[in-house]
Amino acid sequence: MEPTDVRPTLTSIEQRLVGEALLPRQIESMAAVLERAAETTMEEWFERVQTDEKLTSIPMSFELRCGHLPQVFCDLASRLRSSKPIGSNEPASAAAAKHGLNRFKQGYTLAMMVEESRMLEVSIFTCCTRTWQALILACC
């Protein structure tokens, strides 16, 4: 087997790295990431909910179970864009309050509401993690 000349490959890699270093990186806000990934995140959340026996003991369509989520994502993005410091006292989300009342009327217990919310947090964290991983891979 003949030795391979790696110089053209190295030159190509160096040129690409230098060229990419000159390109400005676009930074996307977390609010924008959540808005962009809202549909996928809602679908993943719905799949998680479908694996929970207690939550699925109250049968609901995708629309009924997820109908509140677009407004929840809008409220979350709005809070992320707010100039108020994290942890400040902001008014409660009207959509979240309405959702809680609806779930109570549908037969949810407090524990079921907490579990449903926890699953949404996990779905949002998964979205964030995927975004960070993509950024890291893009930088390497």
DSSP state letters, 83-103: SSPTT---PPPHHHHHHHHHH
The answer to whether residue 7 sits within a structural domain is no
pTM score of the predicted model = 0.72
When pLDDT is averaged across residues 37-53 and rounded to a whole number, the result is 94
| Residue 10 within any structural domain of the chain | no
> How far are the Cα atoms of 13, 24, 60, 62, 139 from residue 47, in angstroms, in the given order?
42, 38, 13, 10, 32
Residue 80, pLDDT score: 84
Residue at 114 is within a domain: yes
Cα 99 to Cα 66: distance, rounded to the nearest angstrom: 10
Q: Is the pLDDT of residue 93 over 90?
A: no
**In the predicted model, what is the mean pLDDT of residues 46-54?**
95
pLDDT of residue 51: 95
Contact 90, 84 (CB under 8 A): yes
Say what the pLDDT of residue 84 is: 77
Q: 106 CB contacts (<8 Å, ≥6 apart)?
A: 58, 60
Q: Is residue 123 part of a domain?
A: yes
Average pLDDT over residues 15-35: 72
Report yes or no on 109 lying in a domain: yes
Report if residue 72 sits inside a domain. Answer: yes
Give the integer Cα–Cα distance in Å for 33 and 108. 30
What is the pLDDT at residue 138? 66
Query: Cα dist. 61→50, 53, 77, 91, 96 in Å?
Result: 11, 15, 26, 30, 19
Domain with 132, as residue range(s), is 30-84+91-139
Q: Output 90 or 22, whichever has higher pLDDT.
A: 90
Q: Does a structural domain hold residue 62?
A: yes
